[in-house]
Amino acid sequence: MDKKELITELKTIVTPYAQDPEALDNIGEDTDFIKDLKINSANLVDVVLDVEEKFGIEIDNDSMAKMLSVKAAIEIIEDKLAGVDRK
Amino acid sequence: MTTQEILDKLPYSKPFLFVDELLQINENGSVGTFTYDKDLDFYKGHFKDSPVTPGVIMTETMAQIGLVCMGIYLYGDSNAEMKAHVMLTSVAVDFMKPVFPGEKVTVTAEKVYFRFKKLNCNVVMKNEAGETVCKGNISGMVTAKLHE
């Protein structure tokens, strides 16, 4: 799955929780889940749980703490899919 | 953690404590009861001349038994000396039957997940006849108590 496809998948996942429609329309690598999409911390947990389900991976606490933007999410998903545990 | 220890840690008091008994609690869920005293203040205005328990109060009762007690229990497992603070983040409830002054209700909660500090529970409230009066899904963030 390339970056563009990953962003499309992420967009589908964050859509129910995003509070800023314009930022959602313009979603890209630099989009910040909290600052741009205005997702609250409780719904950010749901985003992470949905990512786990969609990609069949398990996100640990450290990765959860880092997963604040599309870019970070893509890195984490790619790492987990590749079976690499980047510290 | 015993049920009494959890009750002692609840941050509420009258007239906003909506837990009388905590009958059961474990990693997967909780069961508790509350009796709505007919003299509770809100019955004077909800509604004028025909008191019925407000849906928001029933929701609060479900949240206190099903979410806050559970949150304190689950948090206490890993942080014995710290007090848990549970912040409500979302609620979706369907109401089936009215609850009148003086009725006793039993709330049963089932944990859906507790991950990254977020607790999500399915909660059902039944009256003394065993009929479901309302049910839904409630979630909140469980964190260390903000202040003593």
pLDDT of residue B76: 82
pLDDT of residue A2: 87
pLDDT of residue A51: 96
Number of domains in chain A: 1
* Best to test chain B binding among A33, A46, A59 (most B CBs inside 10 Å): A46
Q: Is residue A56 part of a domain?
A: yes
Nearest to B139 among A42, A48, A64 (CB): A42
| Whether the predicted pLDDT of B34 surpasses 60 | yes
* Best to test chain A binding among B115, B117, B138, B143 (most A CBs inside 10 Å): B115
B80 — pLDDT class (breaks 50, 70, 90): low
Neighbours of B117 (CB within 10 A): 20
Cα distances (angstroms) measured from residue A61 to each of A58, B3, B22, B93, B116: 10, 29, 31, 30, 7
Question: Are A41 and B141 in contact (CB < 8 Å)?
Answer: yes
Q: What percent of chain B has pLDDT over 90?
A: 87
pLDDT of residue A30: 96
Does residue B46 carry a catalytic annotation?
yes
Cα B53 from chain centroid? 15
* For the ranges B63-77, B79-93, B106-120, the one whose mean pLDDT is highest: B106-120
ipTM computed for the complex:
0.86
pLDDT of residue A84: 60
Chain B within 8 Å of A81 (Cβ-Cβ)?
Answer: no
pLDDT of residue A74: 96
- Identify the CATH number of the domain defined by range B3-144: 3.10.129.10
The CATH code of the domain that includes A61 is 1.10.1200.10
Cis peptide before B47 (omega within 30 of 0): yes
Domain holding A27, by residue range, is 3-82
Cα–Cα distance measured from residue A76 to residue B46, given in angstroms and rounded to the nearest whole number: 51
Interval B62-67 mean pLDDT: 98
| Whether the predicted pLDDT of B31 surpasses 90 | yes
Per-residue pLDDT of chain A (87 residues; tens, 9 = 90+): 789 999 999 999 999 999 999 999 999 999 999 999 999 999 999 999 999 999 999 999 999 999 999 999 999 999 999 986 554
pLDDT of residue B39: 95
Cα–Cα distance measured from residue B15 to residue B9, given in angstroms and rounded to the nearest whole number: 17
Q: What is the dihedral angle through the alpha carbons of B39, B55, B129, B8, rounded to the nearest 10 degrees?
A: -70
pLDDT of residue A85: 54
> Catalytic pick from B21, B23, B42, B46?
B46
Residue spans of the domains in chain B: they are 3-144
| Whether the predicted pLDDT of B81 surpasses 90 | no
pTM: 0.91
Q: Is residue A87 part of a domain?
A: no
Residue whose C-alpha is closest to residue A1's, from A68, A67, A57, A82? A82
Cα–Cα distance measured from residue B21 to residue B7, given in angstroms and rounded to the nearest whole number: 8
pLDDT of residue B83: 76
pLDDT (tens digit per residue) in B92-146: 999 999 999 999 999 999 999 999 999 999 999 999 999 999 999 999 999 886 5
Q: Which two tokens stand for residue B123?
A: 């909660």
